[in-house]
Amino acid sequence: MKMRAARMYGYKEPLRLEEIPVPGFGPEEVLIKVGGAGVCRSDFQMIDGYFADSLTLEFPVTPGHEIAGWVDGIGAEVPKSAGLAEGDQVVVESCWGDGVCRQCHDGNEQLCGHGQWAGFGPPGGYQEYVPVHYRHLIRVPAHDDVLPENLAPLTDAGLTPYRGLKKLRSAGVLGSGRTVAVMGVGGLGVYATQYAKLLGGGATVVAFARNDGKLAVARENGADHTINTRGKTADEVRAALESSTGRPDVDAVIECAGSEESIRMAFDVLAIEGAVASVGLIGNRINIPLFPFVAKEFSYFGSFWGNYNDLTEVLALAEAGRIRHTVTPVRFDDINDTVDALARGDIIGRAVMVYN
């Protein structure tokens, strides 16, 4: 039996659209028929060579770490306690640790130094069938409005800013009378805006972006104010903040872009004892002044992806109707054009590859 697959054979090359055999699966694995695969900027970055110095890849590689679909086959040693049956709708928790390190024992397999990530070595959702160990599947009750193309982005775009907002909440910089900024309204920022309202304890939410269309989506998803930062200096952004909120600074930033410019802006508008959580990855380094960082007692959190329990919380919010999706389904045949559009910043929300 054959399946379609979009595979990477080298850096800075278009994905090759092929037909290859459906993979086998081990006794503790489940074969997933992919219904939706999110197209993440990290996929473009892997193709472009961003991770070349930190990831050892054996080509061909099938990208796609945001995966939702249905159980198609179950290994003989998958326990009944896993609660999985053929036809079940599932999402894939895509960070697979070694199970023995401190991070794995803490439940943070995404931080495992010897782990793997689906789509960054092990085959991802840019192919129609994927084998996954049963421990990394979460069953999602099927409803008419719970579709794979909406579920798939929750496994990264919806998961990563959720963990970052939880860190800001734990740092005590959210709540009534506070202001939280969402820097960058791409795939992650659309969800981050919603979490800022859900977890913010009444904080005022301000979205920053360089595109008016993306800012309009931020307003639709709960932003109290929006600021277009394109071409603006830090002083001009602070003035726009004061005009919108009555103060020229913010208490917390969920930084979803990851560019050097955006991170510097986050600290330029940060109030005394404020905190920034970085979840975006575009640039390669951070350049912020040291004295304000120390003298104003800023806090800076790196926040990477999310763990299994974080994902179950995100899915519970989605099932309760607390999360809105800004999703554009795209055809398998259009995947290279979609990756190129993502690289240019033309995608609003999340593009999701579907096979039907």
Of 323, 327, 307, 349, which is closest to residue 138 (Cα–Cα)?
A: 307
Residue with structure tokens 């929006």? 226
Q: Which of 166, 168, 219 has its CA nearest to residue 189? A: 219
Res 282: pLDDT: 87
| pLDDT attached to residue 56 | 87
Q: Whole-angstrom Cα distance, residue 331 to residue 215?
A: 26
Q: Strand, helix or coil at 299? A: strand
pLDDT at 284: 84
Residues 6+ apart with CB under 8 A from 87: 70, 71
Query: Where does CATH 3.90.180.10 sit in the chain?
Result: 2-156+306-354
Q: Please give the span between the terminal C-alpha atoms of the chain, in angstroms, as a whole number.
A: 17
User: Is-cis flag, bond preceding 60, omega within 30?
Assistant: yes
> Considering only CA atoms, which of 271, 275, 277 is closest in space to residue 258?
277
What is the pLDDT, as a whole number, of residue 356?
A: 76
**pLDDT for 144:** 64
Closest CA to 295 of 263, 272, 276, 274: 272
Give the length of the chain: 356
Q: Which fold has domain 2-156+306-354?
A: Quinone Oxidoreductase; Chain A, domain 1 (3.90.180)
Structure confidence at residue 20 (pLDDT):
98
Q: How many angstroms separate the CA atoms of 93 and 4, rounded? A: 22
Whole-angstrom distance, CA of residue 42 vs CA of residue 242: 34
Closest among 254, 245, 201 to 224, alpha carbons compared: 245
What's the DSSP call for residue 309? H
CA distance 125 to 149: 12
Name the amino acid, one letter, at 195: Y
Would you state the pLDDT for residue 108?
97
Give the residue among 191, 225, 192 at the shortest CA–CA distance from 207: 225
CATH 3.40.50.720 region(s) of the chain? 160-302
Contact 186, 39 (CB under 8 A): no
Residue 249 bridge partners (DSSP): none
Q: Which helix or strand (DSSP H or E) is residue 228 part of?
A: strand 225-228
CATH 3.60.15.10 fits 160-302, yes or no: no
- DSSP symbols for 109-133: GGG-TT-EETTSSS--TTBSEEEEE
Low-confidence ranges of the chain (pLDDT < 50): none
**Run of H or E residues at 243:** helix 234-245
The answer to whether 34 and 351 have CB atoms below 8 angstroms apart is no
